[in-house]
Amino acid sequence: MNILVTGGAGFIGSQFVRDLVDHDEGARITVLDKLTYAGNQANLPDGGHHFVRGDIADRDMLAMLMPGTDVVVNFAAETHVDRSITDSAGFLRTNVLGVQTLLEAARAADVTTFLQVSTDEVYGSIAEGSWPETDPLLPNSPYAAAKAGADLLCRSYHRTYGMDVRVTRCSNNYGPYQFPEKVIPLFVTNLLRGVPVPLYGDGGNVRDWLHVADHCRGIRLVLSKGEPGEVYNIGGGVELSNRELTERLLEACGADWSMVRQVPDRLGHDRRYSVDHSKIQSLGYAPEVDFAAGLTETVQWYRDNPSWWASSVKPA
């Protein structure tokens, strides 16, 4: 089976590629990545795949690369909410136009299955309970709106052209190789250098945490057992406020609350995310990584690999 993994040099995509190399010996893997600031070939295994540097919005390149592909798994995206608030144009280009270009190339090449990796942020914010996949999309940031647009394009390609398109929506990921702009790697790399960490608002915003390895197990399950045209939430089942998460990170890094600086809240900051992942549980999914153990291992990975992240952080 020929698998094209787009955005495969990023945090989640590279975990997926490493898993494929380890567990799917018959897979012929091509990794396509633009290698923007968050993509790094050092995240990928030494062998077991073919790497191509390129952009999912490049029609001509995709026309050459796509023929013979059986499965496309799309991780390629601009993902950082703060960056989307400052300048949304790049998010629309990659997350909407790029996905449409990729879908069209896959359709032209008769790709068997196309899986779009999305996010729980497309649902907006929920005060209580958890979102099932049937809830409306009510995104509140330019990033989330662009991802929602891609999800709807995927639905349209299934309904209009009969393509086998599947969508996964995950909760907040953590683990090794995550670029230090997201909260866990940012806070950890700051604390390891003795730099205070910025906590938005009152710290009461709640997120559901999912280890990247569990996320990728869920994606592989949707590829093997999921149904065309369906959406599957992938959650971790561990909800923490940002304040609670900060306390755990302080403890893990041997720091105290004096290292926290409360900063003005993010514009349009969603208060709480929570996905109902009972649908994918019916396929056999369950998170395997204990959050406390996973967080400890993640902090230790950043402690052990300063050469990987040192050039990516602001000087102390």
Buried b (16+ CB within 10 A) or exposed e, 193-218: eebebebbeebebbbbbbbbbbbbbb
Catalytic residue among 33, 78, 133, 143: 143
Catalytic residue among 33, 55, 121, 214: 121
Locus of tokens 């790399």:
189
d(CA 235, CA 126) in angstroms, rounded, equals: 15
Active site residue 120: yes
User: Quick check: 114 and 70 in contact, CB under 8 A?
Assistant: no
226 phi, psi to nearest 5 deg: -75, 170
Question: Tokens at residue 86, please?
Answer: 């400052």
Give Cβ neighbours of residue 136 (< 8 Å, ≥ 6 apart): 123
Catalytic residue among 55, 78, 120, 208: 120
Determine if residue 119 is left, alpha or beta; phi over 0 gives left, psi from -120 to 50 gives alpha, anything else beta: beta
Question: Which amino acid, 149?
Answer: G
d(CA 41, CA 26) in angstroms, rounded, equals: 22
Determine if residue 97 is left, alpha or beta; phi over 0 gives left, psi from -120 to 50 gives alpha, anything else beta: alpha
Q: List the catalytic residues.
A: 120-121, 143
